[in-house]
Chain A
Amino acid sequence: MSHRETLRELMELHGGPGFEEEVAHRVKAAFARYTDDIRVDRMGNVIAHIRGEGASPRPRILLSAHMDEIALVVTEISEGGFLRVWQAGGFDPRTLVGQEVVVHGRERLTGIIGSKPPHLTTPEERRQAAPLEDLFIDLAMPEACVRERVTVGDRVTLRRETMDLLNGRIAGKALDDRASIAVILECLETLRGLRHRSDVLAVASVQEEVGVRGAATAGHALNPDIAIAIDVTFADMPGQAPDESFKMGKGPAIAFGPNIHPKVFRGLRDAADRHRVPYQVELTQGPTGTDARAFQIAREGIACGLVGVAIRYMHCSVETAAYDDIAECGRLLAHYIAGVTEKEVAGLSCY
């Protein structure tokens, strides 16, 4: 199966912060093609260990892509059996109206986030976007049936079939950040054909969307020499700032800034130049909203890199990416890893 197909499957699986098991299961199966050393840690991070060549100690490079997606959680079953919700991760409530969702109760239920038809709304109402607290999920069943199947605290995820668009582009939910899991898989595939001294710790991390929590404990536990977070970034859209608008199909974005070790940045950029991987540079000015934020300050500090593909409509159910960018990002990482030497690792503390 191609990794594009794996990605399609991963996107349609359900797993929000703290309930990533279903996604984890599929990710383990995908990683199994490259190693049998796969484990799940206490927080639920999936960790695959791919050994490098030669005697230990070898450089250890961690790659992480978070497998959780933004999700909702039931806060109340109100009269009539309608569900009120809160969020785990940041939704734009305006994108939720009319959305199909899956409610993970005693059984899997399909629900609709209701909206008042235009015939019944006043002009003032139409001028205002409803906040999340005012939205409700309709399960189309009587309250008693709902109460048998749903409890406060049950999770809710978006429901969306993955779609192929023109030019190899792919659209659906949870591209953030399952696209980056596909990047890791593409990387491992390329890496099979390369010689590499470094051990690779491929991590599908949990709970990124609620504050990079899985990365915090994985960084501490694994304590690699280099940690590279792979996360999606913003593709260009009208009205966005020029330094936050990357082109789809023009290769991965390599991040630069205080959160990124300058030598890891240069290593990634040089690998891209050497192997003709198209890339864009993303400038950041502080801790990034990615796993790299936690990795950098784990223990005595870890040298971080950050790469990712640009997607449109982040945190909607129709996130869109160019698969070529995913494949190229994987290729970039593989060549970077193959080029890392002990000497380089030793030099990371030399400023």
Chain B
Amino acid sequence: MTDIGGLKARILHWAEVVAPSGSEGQVREALLGAIRAAADTVRVDALGNAIATKAGEGKHVVLVAHADEPGVMAIHADEQGFLRLIAIGDVPAEALVGRMVQFTNGVTGVVGVESRVKPQDVGFEHLFVDVGAASQAEAQRLVPLGTAGVVQSPVVEMGPHRLAGRALDNRAGCAVAAEAFLRLAAMGRKVSVVFTAQQAVGSRGAGTAAYQLEPDLAIVVDAAPAGDMPEAPRMALRLGQGPALKVMDGTAVVPLDVKHHLEESARRAGVEIQYEVWPRGQSDAGAVQLSQAGVKVGGVSYPARRSGMMQVIDLRDLDAAVRWVVAAAASW
């Protein structure tokens, strides 16, 4: 059995780190810290992917979990010292109004909106951030243009199994991939883990990572939306009902042999699974699959209820995901 407490501690720690796409440096260090001792080689590539490999027996299985999260970037400071923002990845402007943003350098600010704009029309061009600066120069000193940030919100525990907060998608997946990597390495398997960069802007890191690693099998670990909220978009996934086998999302159709292998592995590991069909869903699976002459790709997802920039996840789904990923990787 997995130590759920250990998974939880890692997720709580990693979800605190601010790591919008392109600014994964801090989370990268934290993630690599958990697995460095078990890896033969550890490196960071041109796009910011963190890659660890353990030499060993069997086919080369690569575990892929994106380390980044959507966020914002400071793009302009006006004479009064207010900052203007653009989105990094898919961030709805209205979700930022009245919230605090935290930049990668630790500076925080309050997001306001121009008063003449109707709530339904709010775009990034109408938002501004007050970081307490009195002039353009002071604002730019506090937050140099190009600095990235995220919506500040703490991660909280809800009951014994659930966590809520930002960046759980996909620090939870990183925790699953890290733990599975450690176990597979301990088993003497040839295995790599990639904490990919720039997923939220279109899986830019995953493509270059797959190009370097040429996996025999890649397993993408990521969140998929749960559909068990009132009047939620139609998705069959239920929180706490087990990890999900990715059948298809907006980027990839999982090959049938991989799908069958994952089904069989779940059965052997005694893991109850769900099936994910995620219309238009974005994941690293497609970028990995289409690398070079093609890569066998599978996806193990955990349900996440999504609300604005927050997610709710269930640790039991993650615990089962670890056992499932290990079983599947060890028998490919």
Is there contact, CB below 8 Å, between B248 and A153?
Answer: yes
Instruction: Write the chain B residue with the least CB distance to A21.
Output: B256
Q: How far is the CB of B224 from chain A (nearest CB, A)?
A: 12
Q: Which residues of B are found within 8 Å of A221, using beta-carbon distances?
A: 292-294
Chain B residues 239 to 293 lying within 8 A of chain A, measured CB to CB, are: 245, 247-248, 252-256, 259, 274-277, 279, 286, 289-290, 292-293
Is there contact, CB below 8 Å, between A75 and B235?
Answer: yes
Q: Which residues of B are found within 8 Å of A232, using beta-carbon distances?
A: none
Is there contact, CB below 8 Å, between B277 and A73?
Answer: yes
Q: How far is the CB of B208 from chain A (nearest CB, A)?
A: 15
Q: Given A17, A21, A41, A152, which contacts B236 in the complex, CB threshold below 8 Å?
A: A152
Whether, in the assembled complex, B172 has its beta carbon less than 8 Å from a beta carbon of chain A, the answer is no
Q: Which residues of B are found within 8 Å of A216, using beta-carbon distances?
A: 290
Q: Which residues of A are found within 8 Å of B293, using beta-carbon distances?
A: 41-42, 217, 220-221
Chain A residues 106 to 139 lying within 8 A of chain B, measured CB to CB, are: 133
Whether, in the assembled complex, A86 has its beta carbon less than 8 Å from a beta carbon of chain B, the answer is yes
Whether, in the assembled complex, A74 has its beta carbon less than 8 Å from a beta carbon of chain B, the answer is yes
Q: Given B236, B255, B286, B295, which contacts A76 in the complex, CB threshold below 8 Å?
A: B236
Point out which of B255, B275, B279, B294 has the most chain A C-beta atoms below 10 A from its C-beta. B294
Q: Which residues of A are found within 8 Å of B289, using beta-carbon distances?
A: 43, 213
Point out which of B227, B247, B253, B254 has the most chain A C-beta atoms below 10 A from its C-beta. B253
Is there contact, CB below 8 Å, between A75 and B236?
Answer: yes
Q: How far is the CB of B228 from chain A (nearest CB, A)?
A: 12
Whether, in the assembled complex, B99 has its beta carbon less than 8 Å from a beta carbon of chain A, the answer is no
Whether, in the assembled complex, B13 has its beta carbon less than 8 Å from a beta carbon of chain A, the answer is no
Is there contact, CB below 8 Å, between B234 and A84?
Answer: yes
Interface size range of chain A in the complex: 20 to 34
Is there contact, CB below 8 Å, between A153 and B256?
Answer: no
Q: Is the interface of A mostly helix, strand, loop or mixed?
A: mixed
Q: How far is the CB of A41 from chain B (nearest CB, A)?
A: 7
Give Cα distance in the complex from A19 to B256, angstroms.
7
Q: Which residues of B are found within 8 Å of A217, using beta-carbon distances?
A: 290, 292-294
Q: How far is the CB of B105 from chain A (nearest CB, A)?
A: 38
Instruction: Write the chain B residue with the least CB distance to A42.
Output: B294
Is there contact, CB below 8 Å, between A18 and B254?
Answer: yes
Q: Mark B84-102, 1 if CB is under 8 A from A, else 0.
A: 0000000000000000000
Q: Which residues of B are found within 8 Å of A21, using beta-carbon distances?
A: 256
Give Cα distance in the complex from A17 to B252, angstroms.
10
Instruction: Write the chain B residue with the least CB distance to A151.
Output: B275
Q: How far is the CB of A19 from chain B (nearest CB, A)?
A: 6
Whether, in the assembled complex, A207 has its beta carbon less than 8 Å from a beta carbon of chain B, the answer is yes
Q: How many residues of B contact A (CB 8 A)?
A: 26
Whether, in the assembled complex, B296 has its beta carbon less than 8 Å from a beta carbon of chain A, the answer is yes
Q: How far is the CB of A281 from chain B (nearest CB, A)?
A: 31
Is there contact, CB below 8 Å, between B279 and A86?
Answer: yes
Is there contact, CB below 8 Å, between B253 and A88?
Answer: yes
Q: How far is the CB of B188 from chain A (nearest CB, A)?
A: 26
Whether, in the assembled complex, A210 has its beta carbon less than 8 Å from a beta carbon of chain B, the answer is yes
In the complex where A75-B277, A133-B234, A152-B236 touch, is A18 in contact with B253 (Cβ < 8 A)? yes
Is there contact, CB below 8 Å, between A74 and B277?
Answer: yes
Q: How far is the CB of B249 from chain A (nearest CB, A)?
A: 10
Whether, in the assembled complex, A44 has its beta carbon less than 8 Å from a beta carbon of chain B, the answer is yes
Chain B residues 286 to 312 lying within 8 A of chain A, measured CB to CB, are: 286, 289-290, 292-296
Is there contact, CB below 8 Å, between A88 and B248?
Answer: yes
Instruction: Write the chain B residue with the least CB distance to A215.
Output: B290
Q: Which residues of A are found within 8 Å of B255, using beta-carbon distances?
A: 18, 43-44
Q: How far is the CB of A144 from chain B (nearest CB, A)?
A: 17
Instruction: Write the chain A residue with the least CB distance to B295.
Output: A42
Point out which of A19, A21, A42, A86 has the most chain B C-beta atoms below 10 A from its C-beta. A42
Give Cα distance in the complex from A75 to B290, angstroms.
24
Q: Given B277, B286, B292, B295, which contacts A153 in the complex, CB threshold below 8 Å?
A: B277
Is there contact, CB below 8 Å, between A18 and B256?
Answer: yes
Is there contact, CB below 8 Å, between A210 and B234?
Answer: no
Instruction: Write the chain A residue with the least CB distance to B279.
Output: A86
Q: How far is the CB of B100 from chain A (nearest CB, A)?
A: 36
Chain A residues 205 to 260 lying within 8 A of chain B, measured CB to CB, are: 207, 210, 213, 216-217, 220-221
A residues bordering B, Cβ < 8 Å? 17-19, 21, 41-44, 73-77, 84, 86-88, 133, 151-153, 207, 210, 213, 216-217, 220-221
B residues bordering A, Cβ < 8 Å? 227, 234-236, 245, 247-248, 252-256, 259, 274-277, 279, 286, 289-290, 292-296
State the 5 A-B residue pairs at the shortest beta-carbon distance, nearest first: A18-B253, A153-B247, A217-B294, A221-B293, A152-B275
Known: A17-B253, A18-B253, A213-B286. 5 other contacts (CB 8 A): A42-B294, A75-B234, A84-B234, A217-B290, A217-B294
